[in-house]
Amino acid sequence: MDWLYVFPHMDDDSLRNLKKIIDEGFRTFTRSYGEAIEGFFSPLQHFLIVAERFMTQTPWPIITLIILAIAWGASRSVKVVLGCLVTLLAIGYFDMWDDTMRTVSMIFVCTILSIAVGIPIGIVMSRSDRLQRLVNPVLDVMQTMPSFVYLIPVVMLLGIGKVPGLIAVVIYAIPPMIRLTDLGIRLVDKDVLEAADAFGSSSWQKLKNVQLPLALPTIMAGINQTIMMALAMVVIASMIGVQGLGQPVLKAIANQYFTLGMFNGLAIVGIAIIFDRVSQAYGKRLQKHLEIVHG
């Protein structure tokens, strides 16, 4: 009756061998292609460095003004702009300016990359049910697989640094971008699409004039989600050498510095709220035409 209490499992030797073979295989792969892959990602590295240099080396009043100008341009709301100003000043006053700027530049690059990769995938996915069935489980894995687990192969391939951090963050943050682009396009009114067809639109014209504009509110929600998830990954990414607000938090965890952890944690919350309010206000403004209803 032994098998009732102990799950009949693969015998230990074969299991050990299996793991060893996979590990060996991956290691060989890393050894032979690691450099090529690193080369492939080097433009990203460059982009990251430029963005970070800009954020940290520009005098703080100018950066503050730029952020406030973006907030105003996107939201046209004094309240949002004031909120941004107060948050930024508080962050600077508590000496977290540099780390915050590094995090913001990282999030910025992550978001751009997620949009650039996510929207085309979402568009292709919305056109084929089969592809949607194929991609959805992959997205599920990307979102639920503990982030530490996919840090391992990324670090093995690319070592420690900004680019592997970026990739880890994008893997975690891109699914909502893809999903909501797909959903937004699928939700576009069938009648309007039929009208576009009836006037002889090509599929590019349909995408550009009808599907993307009408899916835009949903896509904006996707961008917002992506930013939030990228921020949530900042601490984990700091484990593989991404600089920014995550590193003090990591230090605080290791040494039980309660206040240090709290301050940096709150700074992450602060920029998360800025990003969220500004992008949501922008999304709302894009839909202005939907709000004014004939009485």
Partner 1 sequence: MADHHFGGIKIRHLYKIFGPNAQAHVDAVKNGLTKAELNERYGHVLGLRDINIEMPSGSIQVIMGLSGSGKSTLIRHINRLIDPTAGEVLVDGVDVVKMNEQELRTFRRHQTAMVFQKFALLPHRNVLDNTLYGLEVQGMERAKAVDTAMRWIERVGLKGFESKYPNQLSGGMQQRVGLARALSNDAPVLLMDEAYSALDPLIRMDMQTVLLDLQKEIRKTVVFITHDLDEALRLGDQIAILRDGEVIQQGTSQDIVLRPADDYVANFVKEVNRGRVVHVEAVMVPMRPGCLPVGTPIEVGTTIEDAMRMIAHGPDGDVAVVDAEGKPVGILNLRLLAGALVSADRDTKQTGASLAEVM
Quote the least distance from Cβ 198 to partner 1, whole Å. Answer: 4
If one asks whether residue 128 binds partner 1 (CB under 8 A), the answer comes out as no
If one asks whether residue 4 binds partner 1 (CB under 8 A), the answer comes out as no
Nearer to partner 1 by Cβ, of 8 and 200: the residue is 200
Identity of residue 178: I
Nearer to partner 1 by Cβ, of 196 and 223: the residue is 196
Identity of residue 94: F
If one asks whether residue 96 binds partner 1 (CB under 8 A), the answer comes out as no
If one asks whether residue 210 binds partner 1 (CB under 8 A), the answer comes out as yes
Q: CB neighbours (10 Å) of residue 201?
A: 16
Nearer to partner 1 by Cβ, of 201 and 280: the residue is 201
User: Could you tell me which stretch among 36-44, 107-115, 208-216, 256-264 binds partner 1 (CB under 8 A)?
Assistant: 208-216
User: Could you tell me which stretch among 70-78, 107-115, 247-255, 283-291 binds partner 1 (CB under 8 A)?
Assistant: 283-291
The answer to whether residues 185 and 123 touch, using CB atoms and an 8 Å cutoff, is: yes
List CB contacts of 169: < 8 A, sequence separation 6 or more: 106, 110, 230, 233, 234, 237, 242
Quote the least distance from Cβ 72 to partner 1, whole Å. Answer: 23
Nearer to partner 1 by Cβ, of 6 and 290: the residue is 290
Number of residues that bind partner 1 (CB under 8 A): 24
User: Could you tell me which stretch among 63-71, 160-168, 175-183, 212-220 binds partner 1 (CB under 8 A)?
Assistant: 212-220
Identity of residue 240: I
Tell me the C-alpha to C-alpha distance, in Å, between residue 170 and each of 88, 115, 266, 269.
25, 10, 23, 19
**Closest by Cα among 159, 147, 167, 150 to 31:** 159
Structural tokens at position 29: 């792969």
Task: Report how far Cα 279 is from the mean position of its chain's Cα atoms.
Answer: 14
The answer to whether residues 185 and 230 touch, using CB atoms and an 8 Å cutoff, is: no
Find the binding residues for partner 1 in span 183-202 (CB under 8 A). Answer: 189, 191-192, 194-202
Nearer to partner 1 by Cβ, of 2 and 291: the residue is 291
If one asks whether residue 25 binds partner 1 (CB under 8 A), the answer comes out as no
Alpha-carbon torsion (14, 142, 120, 130), positive or negative? positive
Nearer to partner 1 by Cβ, of 119 and 271: the residue is 119
Quote the least distance from Cβ 38 to partner 1, whole Å. Answer: 43
**Closest by Cα among 113, 99, 146, 144 to 226:** 113
The answer to whether residues 134 and 121 touch, using CB atoms and an 8 Å cutoff, is: no
Tell me the C-alpha to C-alpha distance, in Å, between residue 93 and each of 54, 87, 88, 89, 139.
21, 10, 9, 6, 40
If one asks whether residue 36 binds partner 1 (CB under 8 A), the answer comes out as no
Provide the mask over 47-86, with x wherever binding to partner 1 is found by CB under 8 A and - wherever it is not. Answer: ----------------------------------------
If one asks whether residue 44 binds partner 1 (CB under 8 A), the answer comes out as no
Return residues touching partner 1 (CB under 8 A): 189, 191-192, 194-202, 205, 209-210, 213-214, 216, 289-294
